[in-house]
Structure formats: structure tokens, C-alpha cells
Amino acid sequence: MGKYTNFLKESDLFYNLSPVQFELIESICQELQYKKGEFVFDENSKENDLYLILQGKVEIVVTLSLVATSFIPDDTPRVIAILQRGQSFGEMALVDGGVRSASVRAADRATRVLLLPRKKLMMMCETYPELGYRVMFNLAADLAQKIRNTDLKLRDALLSSSNSR
């Protein structure tokens, strides 16, 4: 059993993998460490790797002026979510190859993440179709859950704004 196998087993993204499949996933992982306030990646950047939080927390940060400059008097980046150990980020760019939809910044003084490079993960999924199916199915379920949570938050914000009128 490798250094990260037990941690990977805790992640929903790798639910129901075999011991050999865990070894394959672990073989492409790279551990990175960030200090509080350091950015893992920036909004609109082109890198498209997947990350899992080993230790600490990260903040998902958006700049509202990137969408609507004429309506936003304050250009301060806004934290829209805080993620912690076991959670993943970077899935959208991993799947569609697009730019990052938000920045990610370390929220603890010693935040450690596992980087799974997109090219290596995709090559592994193509080489081992059963592994690819399981990982992509789990990734889709994770993204669906995140979309549902965002939908609930949006509904709550819309309800709050309509009640304040």
C-alpha cells in the first residue's frame, strides 16, 4: 500500500476502485504545499489539473468584475466556498479543458494538496477503461452534487433578495 492509498480511499472520486487501480492513481499524484494566502491557481488560467486537499483548507475565490464591470463598484475578490481535507477542486477544467472559473487560495498556513495532472489522468483512463469509467462516473456524481448545492444557494439568494423588496 502506497503513501496516499488510505487518503485516496476516503475520496468520493475514487469510490469502488480496486487495490491495483488505487496504485495506478497514486502513481500519478504529486504532493504540493501552500502557505496561507498563496494561490494554487488563478481564475481564467489555462491549466487544467485536478486537486485533492490532503491537509488544511482552500478558498474558492471569484472576481465579479470579470463578468459585469459596469455593475460592480467594488472589485474585491469574493470567497464563494471553503473546501477542506478530502474535497477536490479543478474538476470543470479537467473535464472540459476550459479556463479556470475561479481562483483557489490556501486558507491555512500549511495547506497540502495532491495534484493529479490532467494529461496523465486522461491517458490512464483511456488505457484502463474500467478505471476510467469508475473515475469519470464518480467525478460526474461529485459535480452533480456541487451543482445541486449551488442551485440551492442561488435559490436562497433569490428568495432573500425578493423578500427584501
Q: Which domains does the chain have, with CATH numbers?
A: 5-163 (2.60.120.10)
In this prediction the pTM is 0.87
In angstroms, the Cα distances linking 137 to 25, 28, 98, 152, 155 are 15, 19, 20, 23, 27
Q: Is the pLDDT of residue 147 over 70?
A: yes
d(CA 83, CA 56): 9
Range of weakest confidence among 17-21, 129-133, 140-144, 161-165 = 161-165
**Nine cell digits for residue 165:** 423588496
d(CA 108, CA 54): 12
35: confidence class by pLDDT, cuts 50, 70, 90:
very high
- What does the pLDDT look like over 118-135, one tens digit per residue? 999 999 999 999 999 999
**Between residues 94 and 85, which one has the greater pLDDT?**
85
pLDDT at residue 73, rounded to an integer: 62
How high is the mean pLDDT of the chain?
Answer: 89
pLDDT at residue 69, rounded to an integer: 54
